[in-house]
Amino acid sequence: MVIKTCAICGSNKHVRVLYKASFNEKELNSTIYSARRLPDKIHYKIVKCYKCGLIFSSPILPPNKIFNFYRDSICTYNAQIPYLIKTYMKLFKLSAKHVPKNPKVLEIGCGNAFFLDALYKKGVKKVYGVEPSSTMVREAPKHIRENILVEVFKKNQFSKDSFDIVACFHTLDHMIDPNEVLTEIYRILRPGGTVLMVIHDTDGLSVKLFGERSPIFDVEHIYLFNKSTIRKIFEKHEFLVEEISDVKNTYPLWYWWSMSGFPKTLKAMWLKILKLTRIGNFDFTLSGGNIYILAKKDLEIRRK
């Protein structure tokens, strides 16, 4: 197991335990490391830096084991993809305000490329992705697949000043070293380029309602942010933060219920009922516990 430190101050002097570890290393597999699975209260020891406010997992599995799990992971969220596309496309319009009309876009952790394909269909043709799971990449449309690097995102995969927009949806939470990720994103963005990220919110409704039973406390998630800490780490890397706000997601009521932190027996009983009823299949919009950040590569900040 590998000890992690606060990604903002780089120290563990002010770190305290929030929740004890609740997983058995021998039981971990690629299914557990498949995205958007139902809440199961399986997580590393969760700690908080009371100097910076950052919440993170420590200790964690060695990087090579984690990477192997992601390489074998599968897509388990096909039913949610139409909803995700609508949400991400709205956010993309915000990020595309100050870049060329046909921007060059990179998505980190693109899965089966559903978002990149949606962009392509809207006329954004220069789309690229990075995704460690070869299974998910094989599911991507052929015209997108050839532009996907089957690998974990890391240094020197792309040239400096390559992209107008870098998108990253629920991926930074999974990264072993968010500082390394943000340093590399800054390097590959063109001057004035934009990074768009969606992350979980440790101050969000889900955590307020369910605490440790919130789905954001998950063995996949290493660093978890709120509006304050995500701003701090972006500004640490000299990004100009333009906007941080709540994400409003739309899903059927039964899906919201399935992702809640209510006891399993109660949830299972009502989930069956909701899936069979008109009310349960009603689309419901809620700021359930995600935030987005828009930030720009501003060379004027670096010169200062």
Q: Which residue has the higher pLDDT, 154 or 24?
A: 154
Find the CATH number of the domain harbouring 232: 3.40.50.150
Look at residue 14 and tell me if it is in a domain. Answer: no
Count Cβ atoms below 10 Å from residue 80 Cβ, excluding itself: 18
259 belongs to a structural domain? no
Ramachandran category for residue 298: left, alpha or beta (phi over 0 → left; psi -120 to 50 → alpha): beta
Domains in the chain: how many in total? 1
CB atoms within 10 A of CB 187: 15
Listed in sequence order, the residues at least 6 apart from 245 whose beta carbon sits closer than 8 Å to its beta carbon are: 291, 292
Distance CA 4, CA 19 (A): 15
Q: Any idea which of 66-70, 168-172, 300-304 has the lowest mean pLDDT?
A: 300-304
Mean pLDDT of 226-237: 98
Quick: pLDDT tens for 161-216.
999 999 999 999 999 999 999 999 999 999 999 999 999 999 999 999 999 999 99
38 is a domain residue: no
Work out the pLDDT band at 81, boundaries 50, 70, 90: very high
DSSP-derived 3-state class of residue 244: strand
Long-range contacts of range 301-304, CB-CB < 8 Å, 24 or more positions apart? 301/238, 301/239, 301/240, 302/238
User: Is 161 among the domain residues?
Assistant: yes
- pTM for the whole structure: 0.92
Q: How far is CA 80 from CA 37, 63, 86, 251, in A?
A: 12, 29, 10, 8
For 61, residues 6+ apart whose C-beta sits below 8 A from its C-beta are 1, 2, 25, 28
Could you tell me if residue 115 is inside a domain? yes
Residue 254 lies in a domain: no
Containing domain of residue 141, as a range? 72-248+287-303
Q: What's the mean pLDDT when you consider all of the chain?
A: 92
Express as a percent the part of the chain with pLDDT over 70.
Answer: 95
Output the CA torsion sign for 135, 137, 141, 143: negative
Residue 227 lies in a domain: yes
Domain-located, residue 61: no
